[in-house]
Amino acid sequence: MLDKIRKIIINQDSKINAIWLMRQAGRYLPEFREIRKKNPNFIELCLNKKLVPEITLQPLKRFELDGAIIFSDILMVPYGMGQKVEFKKDFGPILGELDDKKLRTENKFTFENNLKPVYESMKLLSNQLIGSPKSLIGFVGAPWTILVYMLNRQSPKKKIPNEIIYEYKNINDLLSIVIKYIKLHISLQVNSGAQIIQIFDSWAGLVDEKYINKFIYEPTKELVQFTQNLGVPVICFPREIKDYKKYVSEVKPSVINIDYNINPKNISNTINIPVQGGLNPSILLSDKEEIKKEAGNLLEIFKNHPYIFNLGHGVLPQTDPNMVEYLVKFVKDK
Q: Please tell me what DSSP assigns to residue 71.
A: S
> What digits encode the pLDDT tens for the residues 70-112?
999 999 999 999 999 999 887 889 999 988 777 777 689 999 9
- Adjacency order of strands within the sheet including 275-277: 18-19, 307-309, 275-277, 255-258, 234-238, 196-201, 135-141, 67-69
CA atoms of 279 and 66, how far apart (whole Å): 17
307-309 vs 275-277, strand pairing mode: parallel
Are residues 70 and 137 in contact, defined by beta-carbon separation less than 8 angstroms?
yes
Residue 4: is its pLDDT beyond 60? no
- Summarize pLDDT for 210-255 with one digit per residue, the tens: 999 999 999 999 999 999 999 999 999 999 999 999 999 999 999 9
Q: Which amino acid is at 256?
A: I
Domain that holds residue 120: 2-333
Q: CA end-to-end span of the chain, whole Å?
A: 25
pLDDT in tens, 158-195: 778 888 899 898 899 999 999 999 999 999 999 999 99
Q: Cβ distance 35 to 55 under 8 Å?
A: yes
pLDDT of residue 163: 85
> CA-CA distance, 197 to 232, in Å (whole number)?
7
For residue 138, the cross-strand partners are: 197
| Average pLDDT estimate for 120-149 | 94
Nearest to 215, CA basis, from 151, 272, 137, 266: 151
What does the pLDDT read at residue 7? 57
Q: Is 301 helix (H, G, I), strand (E, B) or coil?
A: helix
pTM for the model = 0.94
Q: What is the mean pLDDT of the chain?
A: 92
Per the structure, the count of domains in the chain is: 1
CA dist 103 and 166 (Å) reads 19
Give me the CATH number covering residue 329.
3.20.20.210
pLDDT at 14 over 90: no
Radius of gyration of the chain (CA): 19
CA distances from 205 to 180, 209, 215, 230, 241 (A): 23, 9, 12, 29, 5
Please give the distance of CA 105 from its chain centroid, rounded to a whole number.
Answer: 29
Q: Which of 135, 136, 102, 122 is nearest to 47 (CA)?
A: 122
